[in-house]
Chains A and B, each alone.
Chain A
Amino acid sequence: MKAIEIIGKGEEMHGRAYIPSGREEAGTIIKKLKENGFAHFVMLSCVDWIDKNEFELVYHMWSYEHKEHAMISVRLPRDNPSMFSMHELFPQIETYEREIHEMYGIDFEGNSRLTPFLLEGWHDTPPMRKDFDSKKFAEDVFDSIPEIKEEEDEGI
């Protein structure tokens, strides 16, 4: 596959190139792929591998030229995770980084717009982390509303 040839490592996964990368070299890999035809940045995903105590960032890129999809995977420790911002390569990465910062608590060095995106006034654990218990949160927040007891209708 073209992406694997360009970078010199990676494996084919269901017809798509999967390239594991270190935190520092990810920027160089993405830049190199962009220069070699992978001009469309599809999206930036984050996966919480809580058993391994890791976050996985997956940068999806597509080449209209080679008709090929490349996934660049970067693993970060779950404690104080931080990554370099790539928004200078593709402007829309800024939004993905904002969302991941909000939902997983990953810091992106160089992104000056890590402001709240979907949530408002949130001070709890970042909600997309696996250790955030949505059910308990909902019970804590919404069960505290006193139940309204309807008075018996005595008729006219």
Chain B
Amino acid sequence: MKEYELFIGPQHPGVTGNMMYHLWVDGDTVTKAECNVGYLHRGFEKLMESRNWMQNVPLVCRICVPEPDVNEMAYAMAVEQLMDWEIPERAKYIRVVILELARIAAYLMSIGSYAGSLGIYTLPQWALGDRDYFLDIFEQLTGARVYHIYIWPGGVRWDMPEKLPGLIEKTLSYTEKRLKLYDDVLFKNRIFFDRAVGIGKIPRGKAIEWGVTGPNLRACGYGYDIRKLEPYAVYDDMDFEVIKYPELGDFDVLSDGCDAYTRMIVRRLEIEQSISIVRQALEKMPEGEHIIKHPNWLKWKVPPGYAFKRVESSKGEYGYFVVSDGSSKPVRIHVRGPSYTHGVNVAETILKGANMADVSQILFSLDVCPPDIER
């Protein structure tokens, strides 16, 4: 069979956003894959060096569309560390609530898109519709649906409205009911078993060396979660177990892990985990201030030093490396996005030998988000 080249993307190669994969295909089999990014490159990191510390807050969230809050959180924590600020307890609980709600919203998008790649078109409609209820919560809390600009260095921008926990609880109960329907349509569906089991395998022994993190790593059987390894906000006060292969709850273990099937089941189970964390955080949330008393917003001088802070996002490990020379602007901010490894080296390696029809689902099961790579 003659080998031919195929350009998949940049509109929709199997990732949420614009990027392209250049594939070399022999018959139906991919023989080589190269990631081609750059369509979304807007130079966030360069821009951050010319803006002051506070002006960067509305910028960082734009790095990840489906889950912007992890950026705000990691940036805020890094600045707080350099400034040596201790933030109010209430703000920490509110941060956990918003991070977990954002996580559920991101998973809904990821699961919906994945189902679409298998040709199950009901779930994308349902999941994106249900995600909108979470965006409603964000709108009530922050005034914005997608880019919240809510987690600021020093706390959170506004206190939680009195009636919001009621709306959150209503949305969570609704989501729990909906998840049962999702199971019927996707997670306990024969098509999913036939298509996803054993597809897109990451070699277990190589997963850590390749820089795989988050649900993709947990699907390989490593119970590593930054919320447990380096607890931030009040995650050490939350009661939850890290979900990993082969402990898949009600779902059957149909493979030896590391494949698209296990990765999606881990994501499905983590929605329930997040629902439980949100409930705990709302219940334990103390009264008090939501933000510390700042010096003038536009005149901060951050003490010189290096800070590295990381958070667990729905896609994996998100980190901010912040360097200050003591002036009103950062010297360097470097963002570690989980897709940087998943979307480039890992995808290029595991796509080799894959069937053309599986390329989309492999990429969706890795949950690649191009702006993580380009920043």
Contacts and interface: CB of A to CB of B under 8 A. Distances in A.
B340 interface: yes
A128 B81 CA distance: 25
B85 interface: no
B229 A67 contact: yes
A91 interface: yes
B323 interface: yes
Given A14-B81, A14-B305, A91-B345, A134 B43 contact: yes
A90 B209 contact: yes
> Chain B contact residues (Cβ within 8 angstroms of A): what range?
35 or more
B38 A43 contact: no
A92 B202 CA distance: 14
Contacts of A42: 211, 310, 317, 319, 336
Interface in A95-150: 95, 117-120, 127-128, 130, 134
A41 B321 contact: no
A71 B305 CA distance: 13
Contact of A71 (B47, B306, B336, B341): B306
Nearest to B345: A92
Contacts of A29: none
A125 B182 CA distance: 51
Interface string B248-260: 0000000000000
Contact of A39 (B50, B209, B331, B340): B209
B38 A40 contact: no
Contacts of A90: 209-211
Contact of A48 (B211, B308, B332, B345): B332
A92 B307 contact: no
B229 A95 contact: no
Nearest to B341: A92
A76 B308 CA distance: 22
B72 interface: no
Contacts of A92: 210-211, 340-341, 344-346
Contacts of A120: 38
A112 B27 CA distance: 29
A79 B319 CA distance: 30
Contact of B210 (A91, A117, A119): A91
Contact of A18 (B41, B47, B306, B336): B306
Contact of B340 (A40, A43, A130, A134): A43
Contacts of A95: 340-341, 344-345
A118 B37 contact: yes
B334 interface: yes
Contacts of B46: 127-128, 134
A45 B300 CA distance: 25
A105 to B, nearest CB: 14
B321 A43 contact: yes
Interface string B206-221: 0011110100000000
B308 A118 contact: no
Contacts of B49: 130
A75 interface: no
Given A47-B332, A92-B345, 6 more contacts: A13-B306, A14-B308, A47-B323, A64-B222, A91-B210, A94-B345
25 contacts: A14-B81, A18-B306, A39-B208, A41-B211, A42-B317, A43-B319, A45-B321, A45-B334, A47-B323, A47-B331, A48-B332, A49-B331, A64-B208, A90-B209, A90-B210, A91-B210, A92-B340, A92-B344, A95-B344, A95-B345, A117-B37, A118-B41, A127-B43, A127-B46, A134-B46
Interface of B: 37-38, 41, 43, 45-47, 49-50, 81, 208-211, 213, 222, 224, 229-230, 305-308, 310, 317, 319, 321, 323, 331-332, 334, 336, 340-341, 344-346, 349, 374
